[in-house]
Chains A and B, each alone.
Chain A
């Protein structure tokens, strides 16, 4: 009927009198299939290690030139923000041009020149390309890194940090990053006033020198440019660039929680809860499961209207303006997140529905219709993406950088089509750890009670806007010295500090061996600690007879050594720390040094009220926790530039009149090592040579 109508309606001229009659109740069928043509980009390499990619597209007279560095992300710890400052400072002037000149010249040609610690990119009209390249290479080769600009950027960052504290999406992103990638993973590092203050211009210069190297970098030309032109530019302007080896580093896969956590960020007066349900995933770009995982994500909530999350949370329940999911896969860490903003009253219902959708998809096959729809939708996205000139270049770039099969993109539609619901269910079970997810809620405190039930142990972790853990403390009802005295009396079973000291004076050496186990490592680790008064100490970690780490201090000098790495001599301030908080029973010492300690108050550790004492030095922040009932020490935490380490103590037993813990567990990075005391000796004879 419809075809006939088309045949009859040949010209517009007759339309006024004969209006074609079509059957509107029938959805039109597609025309003949279109074909997608994926043109290969040109790829060549320069002697200095740059891979050049050229993708011609002459539709509009624009050219983009991107220099992409090959270095891995590096943890920044106490100096978090150094890479972002480095990226920004590159645009702050060169030895040829002040920042004002540079800005003026870029704007004058209507170009965009952008920099980060990962790239320098130019985007301009073809007619301005030479000028643009002149500016780009000036920034690449001759950044001036002036003190004044460095100070200006640091100062502005203080304001940036403040403003990020009120924006709900960035608050949620910070908390999610900290939950998924804690312990020194670069993804979980958030700039704070303190980390910004710690950064020096030298840090910036050093980082710049380390990461800006041609080795392993990519130079990508896109747009109104030929291979010959690109080659000429590459040879004349980039070939003589020199630099060191590229930094390669494995930052790990993130932190896989063994139970469901709720993390809450208070946003006073919030009218909505911004929710992220998130967890890390062990997958890298180029993995054989990558495409199937992205199909799965598109069924769950990947950005379109037809997804389960959007249909459920918005169209069915009208809880939200939009609910989406993302499976972010990168070389350096991957994660899944389902997110949205929901009015306060439906916060718990929204979480329930999101969890339901995630659970369902790990239990049941997706429907054939859903799978067919998503495949069609993804095929369409793929076709539409080709409209952007940069797409083909990106295909070439990704193929090389992430070692994708050569025909990955040419076969994309075929591979997509081959994905089955059986495969998707396996993928869902493998990657979607719904039971162990992090539920991040940024919102009004009034909703706290509603979300407690989602947490495995019912204790909500509270974070600030920058993702830092907030510790809630009550005021202590005793003084710091009273606390240490009570502790010392408790472990010596005495009733006055005089008696306690008398007993402790007799303590000269302590040797302990602790066996540490974790499900993450199949064999056990032995921790040996030998101490002698006043400050000597000897510690080793060994696995199957092999020493993995060692630290030695004789009261004046010492070193640390990790397997396969150079010995590190203790710095003056590390030594100072040992003299302040070291010793067999550090509290004897703490009592004497009480002016450098602060009793912060009482906080709850695993449901137990504890006094918290803080000691801060140039090297580290240390927290000691004492049970308010028994005064026994139950935990010590040390935070250094390299990360955080906690030791928990329990099951105290008496040895030669003094109480010592039988369970000594370590938490280092993402690793939890449960430790049982295997042997303990008090006052055995130990030569001083042990500590040299």
Chain B
């Protein structure tokens, strides 16, 4: 129960197999200095290409496989409020193929070469990966560089994927019990902020969008300076760097990438009218090395025009008071979902908030499980979690009620558990327990090369500190019982929350 709800809650994916995580940032600084982190456990090498692509490499020879991933720093929060669902839509669209990869071939090529692939989208970023036999590393680089450089963003692909995404929404949200809770909650907790919609977005927006809207989204966000290439597995650092140089350094920098894309996609006349130059001045086979002085001049000009990303946090309208809404759904058991505003994941309070969530609902010994599920038997599942987001985000405390229990009773019991933490310090044993649980989880996430690649990318993208992979516990170790009490009072407040009560719809 808990798992399926969290799956609805958190992610949208290309292929309904995996589940996901989320996020934080600031501005991508360009450094071409190469740093080699030598940490206790996970060693890696990272550097920037001149076009701004950040590269992270981790060598692990234990099994002959390699994970190739790119995280793009674009999620649903980068969407316009009348064009929601774009980031996730792209996650689908970018499997349609590229200039050099036929339509529908992208996934097939990976699979027939012994690999697997998928992608997922959160509010803050979009993540693509392949896991391949290690002798196919070059294939993975070629494919990801194609996705970055010239993906097919055209009518045919858009039409197919529009329908597929609608089915995804029906399957994951509309046809699932409580499946609308996150969208409803976000709308109420956030006003004037892109977190007010969820990544799957509004299907009417996808319908209303024109091909050009999609092309522009690609041009704005799918550029090297907005991406992190993270590779982990059975590889040699030196030869991998060479391959990366081949496939990614040739991707134009700044706005030159879009000049190049227009050169590829525009008709001669359209190109001329936009840029005032003939397409023929460029070298088709080697665009960046075009010899024509006018071409060189144009490329230089666009290379030096950076692509800007607005990373300024938007301040949502403050949440005031307590809102209660009832939703009648096709369910049998009542559900009570309480939404709070949580701090952003890089906030110093976030670790304490997460610890509070764990004390409330991680494991059978957690407080809400003991109280609501086992002792009072008012709920079949009871949980508390926060979305790790780049901007101040959302926390959910929720229960699915037991048969015949009134939603008010459930809410009251959930509130009692929060009040207990607000009024009495949590025990030393509970803090230690949570740290031990996290230690186990963190070690588990680094047990696969795919897990390492994603973890490295996240730490760089959201925290600008890739090496945090080796210090995952640190932030939690310094949290005290007083910290937990303080964040309980600050964020889990009745003065600013939204309560959604789900009740069974009367059958006809």
Q: Which of A94-135 contact B (CB under 8 A)?
A: 99-100, 103-104, 106-111, 124-125, 128
Set of chain A residues within 8 Å of B9, measured between Cβ atoms: none
Q: Verify if A618 is at the interface (C-beta below 8 Å from B).
A: no
**A16-B50, A305-B107, A315-B160 are known contacts. Are A155 and B133 too (CB-CB below 8 A)?**
no
Q: How far is the CA of A115 from the CA of B148 in the complex (A)?
A: 47
**Closest residue to B402 on the A side, CB-wise?**
A159
Set of chain A residues within 8 Å of B107, measured between Cβ atoms: 304-306
Q: How far is the CA of A62 from the CA of B285 in the complex (A)?
A: 52
Q: Which of B245, B366, B436 is the one whose CB lies under 8 Å from A20?
A: B245
**Closest residue to A193 on the B side, CB-wise?**
B403
In the complex, are the beta carbons of B116 and A304 less than 8 A apart?
yes
Q: Which of A9, A34, A91 is the one whose CB lies under 8 Å from B134?
A: A34
Q: Verify if B507 is at the interface (C-beta below 8 Å from A).
A: yes
**A306-B108, A306-B112, A380-B115 are known contacts. Are A5 and B246 too (CB-CB below 8 A)?**
yes
The interface centre, meaning the residue of A9, A106, A384 with most chain B CB atoms within 10 A of its CB, is A384
In the complex, are the beta carbons of A12 and B245 less than 8 A apart?
yes
**Closest residue to B335 on the A side, CB-wise?**
A163
Q: Which of B133, B448, B449 is the one whose CB lies under 8 Å from A34?
A: B133
Q: Interface code B147-191, partner A: CB below 8 Å = 1, 0 otherwise?
A: 001000000000111111111101110111100000000000000
In the complex, are the beta carbons of A373 and B108 less than 8 A apart?
yes
Set of chain A residues within 8 Å of B449, measured between Cβ atoms: 387
Q: Which of B226-269 contact A (CB under 8 A)?
A: 234, 241-243, 245-247, 249-250
Set of chain A residues within 8 Å of B323, measured between Cβ atoms: none
Q: Which of A382-411 contact B (CB under 8 A)?
A: 383-384, 386-389
The segment from A24-32, A46-54, A196-204 that touches chain B is A24-32
Q: Verify if B463 is at the interface (C-beta below 8 Å from A).
A: no
Set of chain B residues within 8 Å of A29, measured between Cβ atoms: 138
In the complex, are the beta carbons of B330 and A376 less than 8 A apart?
no
Q: Verify if B443 is at the interface (C-beta below 8 Å from A).
A: yes
Set of chain A residues within 8 Å of B49, measured between Cβ atoms: 15
Q: Verify if A267 is at the interface (C-beta below 8 Å from B).
A: yes
**A15-B249, A20-B249, A341-B175 are known contacts. Are A34 and B440 too (CB-CB below 8 A)?**
no
Q: Verify if A320 is at the interface (C-beta below 8 Å from B).
A: yes
Q: Verify if B302 is at the interface (C-beta below 8 Å from A).
A: no
Q: Verify if B468 is at the interface (C-beta below 8 Å from A).
A: no
In the complex, are the beta carbons of B116 and A21 less than 8 A apart?
no
Q: Verify if A10 is at the interface (C-beta below 8 Å from B).
A: yes
Set of chain B residues within 8 Å of A21, measured between Cβ atoms: 250, 285-286, 289
Q: Interface code B358-389, partner A: CB below 8 Å = 1, 0 otherwise?
A: 00001111100010011001001000000000
In the complex, are the beta carbons of B438 and A110 less than 8 A apart?
yes
Q: Verify if A210 is at the interface (C-beta below 8 Å from B).
A: no
In the complex, are the beta carbons of B164 and A320 less than 8 A apart?
yes
In the complex, are the beta carbons of A383 and B65 less than 8 A apart?
yes
Q: How far is the CA of A654 from the CA of B104 in the complex (A)?
A: 71
Q: Verify if A418 is at the interface (C-beta below 8 Å from B).
A: no
The segment from A71-79, A269-277, A473-481, A663-671 that touches chain B is A269-277
Q: Verify if A239 is at the interface (C-beta below 8 Å from B).
A: no
Set of chain B residues within 8 Å of A2, measured between Cβ atoms: 246
Q: How far is the CA of A32 from the CA of B236 in the complex (A)?
A: 14
Q: Which of A355-390 contact B (CB under 8 A)?
A: 372-373, 376-377, 379-381, 383-384, 386-389
Q: How far is the CA of A315 from the CA of B159 in the complex (A)?
A: 11
In the complex, are the beta carbons of A158 and B246 less than 8 A apart?
no
Q: Verify if B474 is at the interface (C-beta below 8 Å from A).
A: no
Q: Verify if A259 is at the interface (C-beta below 8 Å from B).
A: no
Q: Verify if B396 is at the interface (C-beta below 8 Å from A).
A: no
The segment from A164-172, A579-587, A620-628 that touches chain B is A164-172
Q: How far is the CA of A656 from the CA of B163 in the complex (A)?
A: 71
Set of chain B residues within 8 Å of A36, measured between Cβ atoms: 64
**Closest residue to B161 on the A side, CB-wise?**
A318
Q: How far is the CA of A91 from the CA of B364 in the complex (A)?
A: 10
Q: How far is the CA of A631 from the CA of B507 in the complex (A)?
A: 36
Inter-chain residue pair count (beta carbon < 8 A) = 266
**A107-B433, A108-B432 are known contacts. Are A311 and B104 too (CB-CB below 8 A)?**
yes
Q: Verify if B306 is at the interface (C-beta below 8 Å from A).
A: no
Q: How far is the CA of A326 from the CA of B362 in the complex (A)?
A: 33
Q: How far is the CA of A62 from the CA of B444 in the complex (A)?
A: 8
In the complex, are the beta carbons of A304 and B111 less than 8 A apart?
yes
Q: Verify if B479 is at the interface (C-beta below 8 Å from A).
A: no
Q: Verify if B1 is at the interface (C-beta below 8 Å from A).
A: yes
In the complex, are the beta carbons of A32 and B433 less than 8 A apart?
no
Q: Verify if B208 is at the interface (C-beta below 8 Å from A).
A: no
> How extensive is the interface on chain B, given as a class?
35 or more
Query: Shortest beta-carbon distance, B451 to chain A, in Å?
Result: 10
**A62-B443, A311-B104 are known contacts. Are A103 and B116 too (CB-CB below 8 A)?**
no
Q: Verify if A156 is at the interface (C-beta below 8 Å from B).
A: yes
Set of chain B residues within 8 Å of A27, measured between Cβ atoms: 100, 109, 139, 142
**A19-B250, A304-B107 are known contacts. Are A125 and B443 too (CB-CB below 8 A)?**
yes
Q: How far is the CA of A21 from the CA of B284 in the complex (A)?
A: 12
Query: Shortest beta-carbon distance, B52 to chain A, in Å?
Result: 13
Query: Shortest beta-carbon distance, A191 to chain B, in Å?
Result: 14
Q: Which of B1-51 contact A (CB under 8 A)?
A: 1, 4, 15-17, 34, 47, 49-50
Q: Verify if B307 is at the interface (C-beta below 8 Å from A).
A: no
Q: How far is the CA of A372 from the CA of B447 in the complex (A)?
A: 31
Q: How far is the CA of A388 from the CA of B508 in the complex (A)?
A: 50
Q: Which of A292-316 contact B (CB under 8 A)?
A: 303-306, 311, 314-315
Set of chain B residues within 8 Å of A25, measured between Cβ atoms: 100
Q: How far is the CA of A424 from the CA of B100 in the complex (A)?
A: 33
In the complex, are the beta carbons of A9 and B246 less than 8 A apart?
yes
In the complex, are the beta carbons of B333 and A384 less than 8 A apart?
no
Q: Verify if B136 is at the interface (C-beta below 8 Å from A).
A: yes
Q: How far is the CA of A460 from the CA of B218 in the complex (A)?
A: 49
**Closest residue to B172 on the A side, CB-wise?**
A321
Q: Which of B42-80 contact A (CB under 8 A)?
A: 47, 49-50, 62-65
Q: How far is the CA of A159 from the CA of B362 in the complex (A)?
A: 21
In the complex, are the beta carbons of A12 and B47 less than 8 A apart?
yes
Q: How far is the CA of A19 from the CA of B364 in the complex (A)?
A: 57
In the complex, are the beta carbons of A156 and B116 less than 8 A apart?
no
**Closest residue to A23 on the B side, CB-wise?**
B285
* Residues on A facing B (Cβ under 8 Å): 2, 5-6, 9-10, 12, 15-16, 19-22, 24-25, 27-36, 59-62, 91, 99-100, 103-104, 106-111, 124-125, 128, 152, 155-156, 158-160, 162-163, 165-168, 267-272, 274, 303-306, 311, 314-315, 318-322, 341-343, 372-373, 376-377, 379-381, 383-384, 386-389
24 intermolecular pairs with C-beta atoms under 8 Å apart: A9-B242, A10-B242, A15-B249, A19-B245, A19-B249, A19-B250, A20-B249, A28-B141, A59-B447, A62-B447, A104-B429, A106-B364, A107-B365, A107-B366, A110-B437, A155-B377, A159-B380, A163-B380, A166-B332, A271-B170, A321-B164, A321-B170, A373-B108, A384-B116
18 more CB-based (< 8 A) A-B contacts, given A155-B402, A388-B447: A32-B135, A60-B446, A61-B443, A62-B443, A104-B433, A107-B365, A107-B433, A162-B332, A166-B177, A168-B176, A268-B507, A270-B175, A272-B175, A376-B111, A379-B114, A380-B132, A381-B116, A383-B63
